[in-house]
Amino acid sequence: MKVIIAKSYEEMSRLAAEEIAKVVNEKPNAVIGLATGGTPVGMYKELIDMYKEKKVDFSQVTSVNLDEYVGLSGDHNQSYRYFMNSNFFDHVNIRKDHTFVPNGLAKDINAEGAEYDKKIEALGGIDVQLVGIGSNGHIGFNEPGEELDLGTHLTNLTESTIEANARFFASKDEVPTQAVTMGLGGIMKAKKILLIANGAEKAEAINKVINGKITTQIPASMVQMHRDVVVVIDEAAASKLENLK
């Protein structure tokens, strides 16, 4: 695991964008796994700037997103499809028909989740998977629990995730209580994992991911078993690190 501590959110965003651009520059038709939330907004801005400066080209890239809220259509302004279009896809030359986000309106979420995983395999797998982390240690929407799922599946969001995400909605009551998320198997099959985090509220979870035991109670701790992980965090998120492995 390679851990990079950035001086600021801006530096974290730039370094993360450079990691993604490197994969795309080495393999122009790369499959990039993407995430949403507050953390990657700056990284997407950097990638848009790099695209405008002709430092990266997304014309042959395919993207697959980690997750989507259940019950929100792609044009709902809090859906993750909407987030991806407005924060990234609309500003670069990726083909929209090469961008995939799980369908939060599917009748049978688990069946469509299995199709999503097959599609990723048919694409040749994910070259780099970006993941954020919840302060409770979730990645994607794989919440802490007794068991973790391998494939893309329906999941219930925990109270702490609903509370954390309420900041994006008019009120907490509007936050969907369920999501469809790639499972740990899908994330771990990616050839490379890029984990990003900023802010003191992520510091404890980050320390557990880097220095703790592997446990389903901190789903992100599983990435310790992956052979190519880059963690890019700002100083606040690094503030509780006991050791650097």
43-51, 71-79, 134-142, 170-178 -> range binding ligand F6R (CB under 6 A): 134-142
The smaller minimum CB distance to ligand F6R, of residues 39 and 99, is found at: 39
Choose between 58 and 80: whose C-beta lies nearer to ligand F6R. 80
| Given 31, 61, 66, 206, the residue binding ligand F6R (CB under 6 A) | 66
- Residue closest to ligand F6R when measured from CB atoms: 132
Which residue is catalytic, options 19, 46, 65, 67?
67
Closest CA to 138 of 187, 173, 191: 187
Q: Which stretch binds ligand F6R (CB under 6 A): 15-23, 85-93, 97-105, 139-147?
A: 139-147
In angstroms, the CA 57 to CA 40 distance is 19
Phi-psi category of 63—alpha, beta or left, where left has phi over 0 and alpha has psi -120 to 50? Answer: beta
* Catalytic residue (one of 68, 112, 127, 143): 143
In this structure, what token pair is assigned to residue 172? Answer: 């907490």
Contacts of 17 (CB under 8 A, 6+ apart): 43, 44, 46, 47, 50
Planar angle of CA 44, 48, 53, nearest 5 degrees: 145
- Give me the catalytic one of 103, 112, 138, 142: 138
Taking residues 106 to 125 in sequence order and writing x for each that binds ligand F6R by CB under 6 A, - otherwise, the string is --------------------
Burial classification of residue 63, based on how many CB atoms lie within 10 Å of its CB (0-12 exposed, 13-18 middle, 19 or more buried): buried
Instruction: Mark whether 67 is an active-site residue.
Output: yes
Nearest distance in Å: CB 42, ligand F6R: 11
* H/E stretch holding 180: strand 178-181
> Do residues 112 and 103 make contact, with C-beta atoms less than 8 angstroms apart?
yes
The yes or no reply on residue 219 touching ligand F6R (CB under 6 A) is no
Q: What is the DSSP letter of 66?
A: S
Residues in binding contact with ligand F6R, number by CB under 6 A: 14
Q: How far apart are CA 20 and CA 82, in angstroms?
A: 21
| Residue 29 among the catalytic residues | no
Is residue 138 annotated as part of the catalytic site, yes or no?
Answer: yes
CB of 167 to ligand F6R, least distance (A): 8
Active site amino acids = 67, 136, 138, 143
Binding residues (CB under 6 A) for ligand F6R: these are: 35-39, 66-67, 132-134, 138-141
